[in-house]
Amino acid sequence: MNDRKLQPIGIFDSGIGGLSVLEEARKLLPHEDFIYFSDSANFPYGDKKTNELKKIIIKNIKTLVDAGCKAIVIACNTATSVAITDLRKKFSIPIIGMEPAIKPALEGRHEKILVLATPLTLKLEKFNQLRSKLDKEDELIILPAKGLAGLIEKNVLNGSDKKEIKKYLEKLFSKINKKEISTVVLGCTHYVFIKDLVQKLFSGKKVIDGNLGTVQHLKKVLKEKNLLNKQKGKGNVCQINTK
């Protein structure tokens, strides 16, 4: 494909979580073609050692680069934390990462911000660098949600009810003083699928994710690099799944 503007955008995740990012991207960039890459064979990423996971991610991103993608979104907070620096060194195309939407959550707020993410995302250097740059770090409550992404993946794929997830969340939030929370940050793309449950448990509070901000950044980068597809008509989506 000679015209780079017509090349697809890659959206990568370990499972179904990145579909929520893809949905946002198709709204904001309706003329673009997308390739959605789900690495189901290696899900969940949080159970793997960092070096092993980095090799898996780099291999998968190479597949998207070889498929002709003009830009790639790492629609996974854990994969971003583990590999984004290495990916940008290795590949010349724009690679957009995810991070918990802490900065917008803190704007104009004086109450506590609850950050919900996978244990691996919260443990890695990228998150701690983000946290250390904040003026209001003391306003954050960091809550690792071990196994939650796996529960959500199983629920979405099997089409079962959310009773198991609701029970998990009630236990997870049992020691949180909900009255002092102003905003809940969903720090994993899988969690967007249970945004309604979290909202019910934190009635009247704001629940946000990083999807829109990430896609807006993608659009900005494509525009700066003159890579926006200006063709008329709705773009297509194809999928790659390692399982």
pLDDT of residue 74: 97
If DSSP codes are grouped into helix, strand and coil, which group holds residue 240?
strand
- Check whether domain 102-209 has CATH 3.90.550.10, yes or no: no
Catalytic positions, written as ranges: 76, 188
Cα 48 to the center of its chain, rounded Å: 18
Report residues of the chain scoring pLDDT below 70. 1-2, 108-110, 130, 132-138
Q: Which candidate, 212, 238, 229, 243, places its Cα nearest to that of 96?
A: 212
Tell which CATH architecture fits domain 4-98+212-241: 3-Layer(aba) Sandwich (3.40)
Domain boundary assignment for the chain: 4-98+212-241, 102-209
pLDDT of residue 137: 58
The answer to whether the beta carbons of residues 31 and 55 sit under 8 Å apart is no
Predicted structure pTM score? 0.90
pLDDT of residue 200: 95
Reported as a single tens digit per residue, the pLDDT across 122-168 is 887 777 776 766 655 567 889 999 999 999 998 887 777 788 999 99
